[in-house]
Amino acid sequence: NQAGRGSFTWSAPSNIALVKYWGKKQGQVPANPSVSFTLNNCKTITKLDFEKKEGKSDFSFDLLFEGKPKEDFKPKILKFFQRVEQYVPFLKEYHFTIHTENTFPHSSGIASSASGMAALAMNLMSLERELNPEMTDEYFYQKASFLARLGSGSACRSVKGNIVVWGEHKDINGSSDLFGVAFTGTVHPVFHNYQDTILLVDKGEKQVSSTVGHGLMHGHPFAQQRFAQAHENLSAIKKALAGGNVEEFITIVESEALTLHAMMMTSQPYFILMKPNTLEIINRIWKFRAETNIPVCFTLDAGANVHVLYPESYTNQVMEFIKAELVAYCQNSQYICDATGNGAIIL
């Protein structure tokens, strides 16, 4: 092997799904296709130091989060290494030191699993490229997404920008259940640099882990209809993106968010992941939109925080509205301004 020791640093962003992934099959295969905006400012930066060991014993790595050893992240990384080892068989030949940090506030309720797993996967691919320098960029990014998926499903959509599809879909050429692909369809300029202001409603620990959440779709009474709906919504959003149909976009995106939560409210056991302030914010967004005709909408992850989405040209008006009316519903008045971005980069 060429690479004895060295280090790489990758930055990978978070992403926000427009059509949601909720439910999976064996081997991190999604039950339905999803599409997301890659974000720009919410990122994980991970430096990977590697050093060849004597022999091939077991996985060995140290983990530092914001410069300090972080034991409670280690089981997740170990599980990731175990899952990907068959695809990157050199892992046990190295000792790794993983230095990781996020650009968004610690315990903000913003999940770092997508950006974190993507950043780590990029680093592993950089090491693989040291060993096989002739690999193509296409192979590099596709396999990085493939590996990231094994860490956290949605992480496979954080490798590329600005719109990424994960999961086989009839209208998306080259789409796969095994990795995310950059959306190559037409995107109307209104969707360029689309804004996402993330309102931090509840910064607490997630009530339901996404692993448990996906599991609740097994035997869920509405699962099959939901998976079919995601396919239809992906076709419809592709058309809306091409035609610049923001109204249709809003209908799909808000319905997807509420459906995700509806699935959790109708599973066994059932959960309500929204907070009263989540609903206050949604109602105020609807009222503002009705009164001003400004095409602003919301989406949600599997939690209480609200992503406020709008075209760049309305940034001033929407930010004024957010500060005047919505920040009051955020924990410690906290929010993050983000927009669509280009995916992972090496530093």
Binding interface with ligand PMV (CB under 6 A): 17, 20-22, 34, 113, 152-154, 210, 260, 301-302
Chain centre distance of CA 17: 7
Is 94 or 343 the residue whose CB approaches ligand PMV more closely? 343
At 227, is the secondary structure helix, strand, or coil? helix
Rounded to the nearest whole angstrom, what is the least distance from the CB of residue 92 to ligand PMV in the complex? 26
Could you say which DSSP state residue 111 is in?
-
Compute the distance between CA of residue 136 and CA of residue 45 in angstroms, rounded to an integer. Answer: 24
Contacts of 222 by beta carbon, 8 Å cutoff, 6+ apart: 262, 263, 266
Is 47 or 231 the residue whose CB approaches ligand PMV more closely? 231
Is 152 or 331 the residue whose CB approaches ligand PMV more closely? 152
Cβ atoms of 159 and 180 within 8 Å: the answer is yes
Is 21 or 249 the residue whose CB approaches ligand PMV more closely? 21
Compute the distance between CA of residue 152 and CA of residue 28 in angstroms, rounded to an integer. Answer: 8
Rounded to the nearest whole angstrom, what is the least distance from the CB of residue 89 to ligand PMV in the complex? 25
Rounded to the nearest whole angstrom, what is the least distance from the CB of residue 35 to ligand PMV in the complex? 9
Rounded to the nearest whole angstrom, what is the least distance from the CB of residue 168 to ligand PMV in the complex? 15
Count of C-beta atoms within a 10 Å radius of residue 64: 16
Is 17 or 326 the residue whose CB approaches ligand PMV more closely? 17
Rounded to the nearest whole angstrom, what is the least distance from the CB of residue 244 to ligand PMV in the complex? 24
Helical H segments across 85-180, by residue range: 113-131, 137-151
Is 229 or 315 the residue whose CB approaches ligand PMV more closely? 229
Amino acid present at 236 = A
Helix, strand, coil % (nearest 5) of the chain? 40, 25, 35
Count of C-beta atoms within a 10 Å radius of residue 135: 13
Rounded to the nearest whole angstrom, what is the least distance from the CB of residue 220 to ligand PMV in the complex? 15
Is 21 or 321 the residue whose CB approaches ligand PMV more closely? 21
Angle between helices 113-131 and 137-151 (to 10 degrees): 140
Q: Which of 60, 93, 88, 92 is nearest to 74 (CA)?
A: 60
Is 143 or 157 the residue whose CB approaches ligand PMV more closely? 157
Compute the distance between CA of residue 18 and CA of residue 20 in angstroms, rounded to an integer. Answer: 6
Rounded to the nearest whole angstrom, what is the least distance from the CB of residue 154 to ligand PMV in the complex? 3
Rounded to the nearest whole angstrom, what is the least distance from the CB of residue 4 to ligand PMV in the complex? 34
